[in-house]
């Protein structure tokens, strides 16, 4: 297992600030006393200024005023702003990718891929700005027409997590803007420079097109800032990405004030590997989905359910591949596994491994911390494979780290039942050359997840499809398809052009 050199403690702070300045951030204005460290080496990136809870109310007031003007702007003109934002993202792709690596530890290709995802959703949203379709329906009354129209919703609050510090905001923001909404973003505390840099580029696009600047705002801070957004009656929709535990708080609090919530929560994603599977293809799909982003994606593969006849061979090949994974500096060429985001993530991983072993599991690859001597305050770990006798309690829980549990099955129906027998329902996949198995897996009798794949892993969704999951994953949908409807309000209209007033259902109310 190769390891790449960790940069010194005095290098990354100036590097991050320089990238933020190139994106248009006024660094002096965002400098403060809140600690801000890089998971790459544990060193400070410089203190940052956090917003106060009172600033959230001010932001909502400004956002609502901007919304009143923005909703009158034709949707294609709103799309032109998003188009320009996409162009600026393209120009500053390297800067944003660098910030993402520095602040959350993603390897360079994944960090650049995240920015590309932002560019792609801008392209999607620009097209959508000319396709916010309603529908016309026949009426039972002569001389009447029924139609359905969609209108801007209001202020959208976006609460994003560290693992996709920019892309998830862009999914929400690009769509919300073309729908005519204003957006207030509470980013992860781990990635404020990434957030301010993205916002600076969008601000530039807004100014160039004469749009109200307050349709996009950022409020940086701890959980209390998110709570203000969640509870504020002026926020029509709260889109929150995080843990199921967080969602149990956010959902009821927003519902209590009759607001809307869009929740993207835990994933506990499985791949079924059938006897007919192409094991070379399976190996590549599983390793990326399980070890990519150091296991810190909501779509990370956490379970392999392999047919008993090939489970041993597959496990051996996975263990050999894991032994070759280069671990270390995420910005170094060739690195495939960067750091965990902080020490708490490492503690959660070690506890999960111990618990799995107490429940009959056996570590067959990885499981150790590495590079501690080079960066004491950074947490690099070997991606870990454990074989499990069955789907125990630890397997049913999500651990946000590169832990992969391997189990076996005999009959395909049993494998589907194991896939579904967890509280989460985000992503799933099957590796098979049997068409009947593939069709069954994607049918109503198959996987109960929001994302159901055949012969690819559980990670790497494209922006054209709606992203989200079922059960304790929250039920929300973001990004493509008809996810735009969450950011608008629907009206059913009846147009009477008959000159008469017949009532529906034959009711007679003559006076």
Query: Active-site residues: which are they?
Result: 264, 298
Q: How far from chain centre, in Å, is Cα 400?
A: 14
Q: Are the beta carbons of 79 and 167 closer than 8 angstroms? A: no
Burial 15-50 (b: 16+ CB within 10 A, else e): bbbebbebbbbeeeebeeeeebbbbbbbbebbebbb
CA distance 264 to 271: 20
Which segments of 222-329 are extended strands (E)? 237-241, 260-264, 269-273, 301-307, 327-328
List, in order, residues 6 or more apart from 244 with CB less than 8 Å away. Answer: 265, 266, 398, 423, 424, 472, 473, 474
CB atoms within 10 A of CB 92: 21
Coil, strand or helix at 460 = coil
CA distance 274 to 333: 35
Q: How far from chain centre, in Å, is Cα 416?
A: 25
Three-class secondary structure assignment of 194-248: HHHHHHHHHHHHHHHCCCCHHHEEECCCCHHHHHHHHHCCCCCEEEEECCHHHHH
What is the β-pairing status of strands 362-365 and 155-159? unpaired
Rg (alpha carbons) of the chain, rounded to whole number: 24
For 385, the token pair is 């494979």
CA distance 275 to 414: 14
CA distance 369 to 287: 19
Coil, strand or helix at 342 = coil
CA distance 360 to 266: 24
Residue whose token pair is 């671990």:
327
For 411, the token pair is 């009959």
CA distance 46 to 2: 31
Residue whose token pair is 């248009």:
24
- Among 16, 20, 19, 12, which residue's Cα sits nearest to residue 41? 12
For 211, the token pair is 């749009």
- Give the helix ranges, DSSP H, for 336-483: 343-358, 412-420, 435-442
């Amino acid at each position: 297992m190769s390891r790449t050199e960790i940069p010194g403690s005095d290098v990354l702070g100036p590097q991050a600030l320089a990238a933020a300045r190139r994106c248009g951030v006024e660094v002096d204005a965002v400098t403060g006393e809140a600690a801000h460290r890089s998971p790459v080496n544990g060193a400070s990136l410089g203190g940052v200024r956090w917003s106060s809870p009172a600033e959230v109310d001010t932001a909502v007031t400004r956002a609502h005023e901007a919304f009143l003007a923005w909703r009158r702007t034709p949707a294609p003109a709103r799309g032109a702003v998003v188009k320009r934002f996409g162009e600026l993202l393209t120009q500053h792709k390297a800067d944003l990718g660098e910030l993402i690596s520095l602040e959350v530890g993603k390897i360079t290709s994944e960090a650049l891929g995240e920015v590309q995802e932002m560019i792609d959703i801008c392209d999607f949203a620009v097209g959508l700005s000319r396709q916010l379709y309603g529908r016309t329906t026949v009426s039972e009354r002569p001389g009447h027409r029924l139609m359905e129209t969609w209108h801007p919703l209001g202020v959208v609050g976006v609460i994003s997590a560290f693992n996709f510090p920019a892309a998830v905001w862009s999914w929400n923001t690009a769509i919300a803007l073309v729908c005519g909404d204003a957006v207030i973003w509470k980013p992860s505390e781990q990635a404020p420079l990434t957030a301010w840099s993205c916002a600076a580029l969008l601000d530039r696009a807004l100014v160039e097109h004469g749009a109200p600047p307050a349709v996009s705002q950022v409020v940086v801070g701890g959980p209390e800032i998110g709570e203000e957004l969640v509870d504020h009656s002026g926020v029509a929709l709260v889109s929150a990405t995080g843990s199921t535990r967080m969602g149990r708080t956010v959902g009821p609090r927003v519902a209590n004030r009759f607001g809307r919530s869009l929740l993207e929560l835990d994933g506990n994603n499985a791949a079924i590997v059938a006897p007919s599977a192409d094991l070379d293809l399976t190996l590549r799909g599983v390793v990326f989905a399980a070890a990519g982003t150091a296991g810190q994606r909501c779509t990370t593969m956490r379970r392999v359910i392999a047919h008993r006849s090939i489970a041993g061979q597959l496990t051996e090949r996975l263990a050999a591949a894991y032994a070759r994974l280069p671990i270390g500096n995420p910005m170094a060429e060739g690195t495939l596994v960067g750091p965990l985001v902080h020490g708490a993530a490492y503690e959660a991983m070690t506890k999960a491994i111990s618990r799995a072993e107490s429940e009959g599991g056996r570590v067959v690859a990885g499981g150790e911390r590495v590079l501690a001597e080079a960066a004491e305050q950074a947490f690099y770990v070997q991606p870990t494979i454990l074989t499990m006798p069955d789907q125990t309690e630890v397997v049913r829980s999500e651990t946000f780290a590169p832990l992969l549990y391997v189990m076996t099955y005999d009959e395909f129906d049993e494998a589907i039942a194991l896939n579904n027998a967890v509280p989460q329902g985000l992503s799933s996949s099957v590796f098979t050359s049997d068409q009947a198995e593939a069709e069954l897996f994607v049918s109503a009798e198959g996987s109960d997840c929001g994302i159901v794949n055949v012969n690819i892993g559980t990670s790497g969704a494209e922006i054209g499809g709606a992203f989200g999951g079922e059960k304790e994953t929250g039920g929300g949908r973001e990004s493509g398809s008809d996810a735009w409807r969450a950011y608008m309000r629907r009206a059913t209209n009846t147009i009477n052009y008959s000159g008469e007033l017949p009532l529906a259902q034959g009711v007679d109310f003559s006076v």
